Amino acid sequence: MRGILERLRGWEGLLLAILIVVVIFNAVSTPHYLRLQNQINLFQLHIEKIIVALIMTFVIINGEIDLTVGSVMGLAGCVMAYLSEKGVPFEVCLLAGLLTGVLAGTINGFMVSYVGLTSLIVTLAGLIGYRGLARVLLENRSIGNFPEWFNRLGQQPLVGPVPLALIIFFILLIAALIILQWSGVGRLIYVIGNNREVARYSGVNVRRVKMTLFVVSGFIAALSGLLLAARLGSMRGDTATGTELEVITMVLMGGVSIFGGAGSMLGVLLSILIILNLRNGMGLLNITGEIQTGVIGILLILSVLVPNIWRGVKEARSRHRVKRAHVED
Amino acid sequence: METLKRYLRPEQLRELSLVFLIALIFLFFGTQIEDYFSPRIFNRVTSDMAIIAVVAIGETLCLLTRNYDLSVGSVVGLTAFFTGKLLSFYPETVPPIAAVLFAVGLGAVLGTLNGVLVAYGRVPSLIVTFGTMAIYRSTIVAFPAGTKNVVTHELPEWIINLGRTNLFSIGGFDIKPLVAAGLVMFIIFQLMTSYLRFGRLLYAIGSNPEAARIGGLPSQRIVFMAFVMSGSIAGFGGFMFLTRYGDLTPAAAQGMELMVIAAAVVGGVSTNGGSGTMIGALLGAMMINLLQQSLLRWLVISNFWVGAFLGLLILVAVTVDAVIINRMRDIWARRGAESETVGEKGISEKKGKA
């Protein structure tokens, strides 16, 4: 256990070092970078993704994956837009959007926890299916015309220079930190991710924990979808396509194991900051979004490859020692 | 029933039920859509599904070893785009065979990178191919040539014609050259996975990677090969993509990996490795495409329902696999164990199944 903790501390240290390098590089190359407005923009441009990344951390540590988040974001926004176009009171539309997310999460959770299917495939089906439903609702149209206050919430600062979405992110971040690292539920999530069978035989209600996580994941994705709708001011059937990839990249680069059971909220936070700052810096240097995504893809692979090689070298050395001992026997 | 049990394995039963379902879908839409029973639907489905079905061959190889290749969509896009660029820069000098080899070779290089990272770098395939999916896609625009689209009128004549002409047709049923090539590939890979040592190793490694490693099977090499093959096949898929569409943007074939995995999964290829067949993947691709093509022409609901139906289809397929097929497989395995004690026949049967 101490070994794992030490390794994690090492990983987080590395992330912190990378972050510092990126920040210094950005600050030196563009004076505009350090201004408060740019710092807020840096979060605001990807705020929906980083909110979803918080819950995704829980899901992956628990040994599952949720590929539907991008589609649920789109679907929730589209349900909201569709209803508001039909003249339904706007508060009801928002509620319906959130409920859509809960429903989608319930379906995912049910198929994974109670039917016992692999979450990758269930949520792959969801990724295609929920996106399909969003397209059914809006077809090729783009729906805007949301109430003035809703757009203002998404686009204007709420408290001082800080917009609503950023406040939501920080509240959720603190909640996530406390729940995952310092609460009994958090320990359960790690235990299940480490070994589902052992957890089950120890009397942990594995199904209920997994179910809850998927429902919350659906809800948070829907919330992010609505925030995105407010920020963009309109919805289309394909809004938020591919979000799941970036979200999962953020989580995995934060040192969360794809097999579950290992990782920390702090690591994910650092990884989020690295990706945001890297994107911001590259953006200020006029590097296109496509290339930015490629660079982050490289980082993702390296983040797992480098520790692997390091461990491989160590193992080879100790194996060599064992072999020599055998020969001497 | 007993004789039926003796000759039918769960996989075959699953494939038979897919054939049955495809026939059912076909008959249903026949009653709904006018002029449905014509060679046209056959021509449409075959030429439309060819690319996805071919790429699904490589994906199945990876899935059999309990790995995923999420980068195939980007590989198809990248090879299609750069082969298109090559041909529009040198429309006269590049012979067709060189263009095909270029596409396959480029795919092989990309697959090799995946394979090295997964097999020798020991990075989970999900992470590797997640990353390379983004990397390969951004590679297209990273080159100066990638900033301008591939357009049909710059391409040489033969590549446009390749997508249009028929190899032969029987009473209105057209067989396009690339459809025929895809079919040949399916036969080759089906034979390879069922009879060759390499093919059987894919199943052995996928059903229990840990046991395969401890048992001394060349796991790393086989997984590496699976990824190289998947890349090469996706490269060929890229060539097919180019001949079919001609006009390409850097976003060409984006999201194709989902359709490919969907085809394999609907066809009964397990994402837990070690089970599934090429024929199954082909049937899966066929079913998805028939559904797509039919919904496009069905007037009762809008064709935007395609995605929603597809998601449902995958969910139903994996649920059926988990609930029914796996239970049947247990029954079969028990029977196999019983007959093993009876005599040689059981053992040889079991060998065929492993």
Domain of A15 in residue numbering reads as 2-311
What pLDDT does A310 receive? 79
User: Is A220 among the domain residues?
Assistant: yes
Selection from A103, A212, A116 nearest residue B318 by Cα: A116
What pLDDT does A96 receive? 97
What pLDDT does A267 receive? 92
Which of residues A109 and B44 earns the better pLDDT score?
A109
CB B79 within 8 A of CB B253: no
Chain centroid to Cα A209, Å, comes to 19
What pLDDT does B101 receive? 96
Q: B142 and A259 in contact by Cβ < 8 A?
A: no
Report how far residue B114's alpha carbon sits from residue B229's, in angstroms, rounded to the nearest whole number. 11
What pLDDT does B196 receive? 93
What pLDDT does A9 receive? 58
- For A199-230, how does the pLDDT look when each residue is reduced to its tens digit (9 = 90+)? 889 888 999 999 999 999 999 999 999 999 99
Q: Which range is least confidently modeled, A16-25, B244-253, B298-307?
A: B298-307
What pLDDT does B7 receive? 65
CB A54 within 8 A of CB A271: no
Which 3 state secondary structure label does DSSP give B175? strand
For chain B, percent of residues with pLDDT exceeding 70: 91
Identity of the residue in B121, B134, B314 whose CB atom sits nearest the CB atom of A294: B134
Nearest-Cα distance to chain A for B319, in Å, is 7
The answer, yes or no, to whether residue A182 has pLDDT greater than 50, is yes
Q: Which range is least confidently modeled, A272-276, B287-291, B318-322?
A: B318-322
- For A66-121, how does the pLDDT look when each residue is reduced to its tens digit (9 = 90+)? 999 999 999 999 999 999 999 999 999 999 999 999 999 999 999 999 988 989 88
What pLDDT does B340 receive? 56
Residue B343 pLDDT class (50, 70, 90 cuts)? very low
User: Is A318 among the domain residues?
Assistant: no
User: Is A255 among the domain residues?
Assistant: yes
Instruction: Name, in order, each residue with C-beta under 8 angstroms of B60's C-beta and a sequence gap of 6 or more.
Output: B189, B193, B264, B269, B276, B278, B281
* Average model confidence (pLDDT) across chain A: 89
Range among A87-96, A145-154, A313-322, B136-145 with highest mean pLDDT value: A87-96
Query: Mean pLDDT over residues B192-202, rounded?
Result: 93
Identity of the residue in B131, B272, B311 whose CB atom sits nearest the CB atom of A125: B311
How many CB pairs below 8 A link A and B? 138
Query: Mean pLDDT over residues B114-133, rounded?
Result: 92
Identify the closest residue of chain B to A309 by CA–CA distance: B121
Residue B1 pLDDT class (50, 70, 90 cuts)? low
Which 3 state secondary structure label does DSSP give B174? strand
Q: Which range is least confidently modeled, A30-39, A176-185, B217-226?
A: A30-39
Report how far residue A56's alpha carbon sits from residue A244's, in angstroms, rounded to the nearest whole number. 9
A312 contacts on B by Cβ (under 8 Å): 122
- CATH number, domain with residue A194: 1.10.3470
Q: Please report, as a single letter, which amino acid is at residue A202.
A: S
Q: Which range is least confidently modeled, A163-177, A179-193, A307-321, B232-246?
A: A307-321
What pLDDT does B333 receive? 73
Report how far residue B253's alpha carbon sits from residue A138's, in angstroms, rounded to the nearest whole number. 23
Q: C-alpha angle with apex B65: B183 to B190, nearest 5 degrees? A: 20
User: Is A164 among the domain residues?
Assistant: yes
**Helices (H), ranges, chain B:** 2-7, 10-32, 39-64, 72-89, 96-115, 125-142, 157-164, 177-195, 197-207, 209-214, 219-245, 256-266, 278-297, 306-320, 326-342, 344-353
- CATH number, domain with residue B199: 1.10.3470
- For B56-72, how does the pLDDT look when each residue is reduced to its tens digit (9 = 90+)? 999 999 999 999 999 99
Q: B311 and A296 in contact by Cβ < 8 A?
A: no
Q: A133 and B306 in contact by Cβ < 8 A?
A: no
Residue B350 pLDDT class (50, 70, 90 cuts)? very low
* Average model confidence (pLDDT) across chain B: 86
User: Is A46 among the domain residues?
Assistant: yes
Residue B327 pLDDT class (50, 70, 90 cuts)? confident
What pLDDT does B344 receive? 45
Give the count of domains, chain B.
Answer: 1
Which of residues A325 and A97 earns the better pLDDT score?
A97
Identity of the residue in A121, A291, A308 whose CB atom sits nearest the CB atom of B265: A121
Question: What ipTM goes with this model?
Answer: 0.84
CB B76 within 8 A of CB B55: yes
pTM: 0.87
Report how far residue B175's alpha carbon sits from residue B160's, in angstroms, rounded to the nearest whole number. 16
A237 contacts on B by Cβ (under 8 Å): 304
The answer, yes or no, to whether residue B352 has pLDDT greater than 50, is no
Residue A1 pLDDT class (50, 70, 90 cuts)? very low
Which 3 state secondary structure label does DSSP give A159? strand
Q: C-alpha angle with apex A223: A221 to A226, nearest 5 degrees? A: 110
The answer, yes or no, to whether residue B2 has pLDDT greater than 70, is no
Structure tokens at A139: 């077809």
B133 contacts on A by Cβ (under 8 Å): 245, 297
The answer, yes or no, to whether residue A6 has pLDDT greater than 70, is no
Domain of B183 in residue numbering reads as 2-353
Q: Which range is least confidently modeled, A79-83, B38-42, B187-191?
A: B38-42
Range among B197-201, B245-249, B292-296 with highest mean pLDDT value: B197-201
Selection from B154, B134, B181 nearest residue B86 by Cα: B154
User: Is A19 among the domain residues?
Assistant: yes
Give the count of domains, chain A.
Answer: 1
Residue B336 pLDDT class (50, 70, 90 cuts)? low
Query: Mean pLDDT over residues B332-346, rounded?
Result: 59
Report how far residue B118's alpha carbon sits from residue A294's, in angstroms, rounded to the nearest whole number. 18
* DSSP-derived secondary structure letter, B248: B
The dihedral of CA A128, A134, A139, A141: what is its sign?
negative
What pLDDT does B353 receive? 42
Q: A136 and B323 in contact by Cβ < 8 A?
A: no
